[in-house]
């Protein structure tokens, strides 16, 4: 029996909520709260009669910690699942601390307003000291570690697929397959086709900020940064086929570099088709990816937010997306003195996801691990006060739950390596 407050009701939250409702012995009570309450009410109406979970809804602006705290006091949840946007992470963590509730999310903090002078000063210092220039990093949330420890509360960061499941794969490889992991290549392949010339699979603003930024990887104890999309490889993915993939900066590299002892190199690759890249480059060249407000006919508009309004809502891609995703990690290292390699991955079919929960596979592969992470906290399987990423916990119950709840994984002991 548990009571969970879920903040956000977009593409990923829709899947997480539907999956929680499939497991209604554990998720007995859910409050769906978001900026637009009508979306929460519509989901509640759709789920009623299909689950024993008691669902309530609420309106909340999660940028405001005091609003979230008021809602927590009223609802008294055991856990807050933040499936809104990375911009709200700190406000929701503050509210959880204030009210004494555990926390989880699916993406690490980044500010909505990149021109905020206080944030900029920190950001520029970090770029110089650390050597990567992504707008997001873990420092803001890791700074809450002591507060959560003292309060006896757990914050589980980034329990989506990547970050999230990819780190569980790393912890599993570390625990069961290797004595020493030398290299990790995280490969995120979406072989799906939605038929639009250009659309993103999750929140367009967050997605386009991420993929248009310089790439970086971890090697021999430091970051190496490269121009956006300047390292390209081809890979033949199981059940998807040959795809071009590009090296990106990605948040789990930062925590894995700290938590996988002696790892020499960690890279992240994502597949993109030529049409996606051409559209993105063009939009970037004309300034449509900018986060700086511009004056237009007496209004201030932020170009990337205006673009979001024009692009298809990722939550609507489900019925039209066909094909599969294949996401996983390739490891090299040693076991019992022998060199070894292994590839742990999941293949997910867009249409199968749509049949089950009405969403495409990107929302599915993120929403299921959010629910699985919540299960770990609510059942006490993962329970240590502080702020942690997925690889810092025992991977076994999480990996078992992935198999049970729709994201089965497999291990290839002889994969092709990425050069
Ligand atoms: P959507 O844009 O579809 O949904 C975001 C939801 O948050 C919407 O319901 C939105 O409300 C709500 N929201 C936004 N701002 C606020 C606010 N201030 N107060 C309350 N609610 C708010 O995003 P996605 O579902 O695609 O993504 C959700 C999260 O998952 C993001 O953080 C994303 O980065 C992360 N993600 C993680 C992945 C992983 O593998 N780890 C992969 C993909 C996504 P409204 O309806 O009013 O806009």
Q: Write out 48-96 in H/E/C secondary structure.
A: ECCECCEEEEEECCCCCHHHHHHHHHHHCCCEEEECCCHHHHHHHHHHH
Instruction: Output the CA angle 409-82-322, nearest 5 degrees.
Output: 45
Pinpoint the alpha helices (H) of 339-409: 350-357, 361-378, 395-404
What is the reported pTM? 0.96
- Neighbouring CB atoms inside 10 A of 291's CB total 17
> Does residue 292 surpass a pLDDT of 90?
no
Q: pLDDT value at position 158? A: 98
386-410 pLDDT per residue, tens: 999 999 999 999 999 999 999 999 9
> Does residue 114 surpass a pLDDT of 90?
no
324-378 pLDDT per residue, tens: 999 999 999 999 999 999 999 999 999 999 999 999 999 999 999 999 999 999 9
Task: Tell me the longest C-alpha to C-alpha distance in the chain.
Answer: 69
> Does residue 115 surpass a pLDDT of 90?
no
Lowest mean pLDDT of 47-56, 80-89, 109-118, name the range: 109-118
> Does residue 206 surpass a pLDDT of 90?
no
* 265-271/180-190 β-pairing: parallel
Altogether, the residues listed in the chain come to a count of 419
Contact status, residue 362 vs residue 325, Cβ threshold 8 Å: yes
30-71 pLDDT per residue, tens: 999 999 999 999 999 999 999 999 999 999 999 999 999 999
What is the torsional sign of CA 56, 60, 62, 66? Answer: negative
Contact status, residue 217 vs residue 267, Cβ threshold 8 Å: yes
* 409-412/54-59 β-pairing: unpaired
**What average pLDDT does the structure give for the chain?**
96
Ligand 1 atom nearest to 165, measured from its CA: 40
What is the torsional sign of CA 232, 236, 238, 244? Answer: positive
The Å distance, Cα 405 to ligand 1 centre, comes to: 22
The Å distance, Cα 342 to ligand 1 centre, comes to: 33
Ligand 1 atom nearest to 158, measured from its CA: 41
pLDDT band of residue 207 (cuts 50, 70, 90) is confident
Taking residues 273-279, what's their average pLDDT? Answer: 90
Ligand 1 atom nearest to 105, measured from its CA: 32
> Does residue 212 surpass a pLDDT of 90?
no
Between CA 357 and CA 350 the distance in angstroms is: 11
Phi, psi of 29 (to 5 degrees): -140, 130
Taking residues 133-143, what's their average pLDDT? Answer: 94
Residues touching ligand 1 (Cβ under 6 Å) are 7-13, 34-36, 39, 60-63, 83-86, 88, 106-107, 158, 160-164, 202-203, 206, 314-315, 366
What pairs with residue 6 in β-bridges?
Answer: 32, 81
What is the torsional sign of CA 57, 58, 59, 61? Answer: negative
């Amino acid at each position: 029996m548990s009571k969970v407050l879920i903040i956000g009701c977009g593409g990923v939250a829709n899947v997480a909520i539907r999956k929680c409702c499939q497991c209604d012995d554990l998720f007995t009570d859910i409050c769906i709260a978001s900026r637009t309450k009508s979306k929460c009410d519509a989901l509640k109406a759709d789920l009623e009669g299909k689950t024993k979970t008691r669902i309530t809804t609420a309106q909340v602006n999660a940028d405001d910690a005091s609003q979230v705290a008021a809602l927590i006091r009223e609802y008294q949840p055991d856990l807050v699942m933040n499936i809104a946007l990375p911009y709200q992470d700190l406000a929701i963590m503050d509210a959880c601390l204030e009210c004494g509730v555990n926390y989880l999310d699916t993406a690490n903090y980044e500010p909505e307003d990149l021109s905020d002078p206080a944030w900029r000063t920190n950001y520029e210092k970090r770029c110089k000291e650390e050597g990567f220039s992504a707008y997001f990093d873990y420092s803001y949330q890791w700074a809450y570690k002591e507060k959560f420890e003292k309060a006896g509360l757990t914050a589980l960061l980034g329990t989506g697929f990547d970050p999230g499941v990819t780190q569980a794969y790393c912890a599993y490889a570390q625990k069961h397959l290797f004595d020493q992991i030398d290299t990790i290549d995280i490969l995120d392949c979406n072989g799906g086709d939605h038929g639009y010339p250009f659309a993103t699979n999750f929140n367009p603003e967050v997605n386009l900020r991420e993929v248009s930024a310089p790439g970086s990887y971890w090697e021999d104890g430091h970051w190496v940064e490269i121009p956006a999309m300047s390292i390209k490889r081809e890979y033949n993915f199981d059940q998807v086929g040959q795809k071009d993939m590009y090296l990106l900066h990605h948040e789990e590299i930062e925590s894995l570099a700290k938590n996988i002892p002696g790892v020499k190199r960690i890279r992240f690759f994502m597949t993109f088709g030529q049409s996606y890249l051409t559209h993105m480059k063009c939009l970037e060249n004309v300034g449509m990816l900018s986060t700086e407000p511009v004056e237009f006919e007496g209004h201030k508009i932020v170009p990337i937010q205006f673009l979001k309004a024009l692009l298809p809502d990722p939550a609507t891609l489900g019925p039209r997306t066909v094909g599969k995703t294949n996401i996983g990690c390739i490891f090299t290292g040693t076991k019992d003195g022998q060199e070894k390699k292994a590839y742990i991955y999941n293949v997910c079919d867009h249409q199968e996801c749509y049949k089950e929960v009405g969403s495409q596979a990107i929302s599915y592969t993120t929403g299921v691990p959010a629910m699985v992470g919540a299960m770990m906290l609510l059942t006490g399987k993962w329970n240590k006060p502080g702020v942690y990423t997925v690889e810092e916990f025992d991977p076994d119950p999480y990996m078992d739950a992935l198999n049970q709840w729709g994201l089965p994984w497999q291990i290839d002991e002889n994969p092709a390596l990425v050069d």
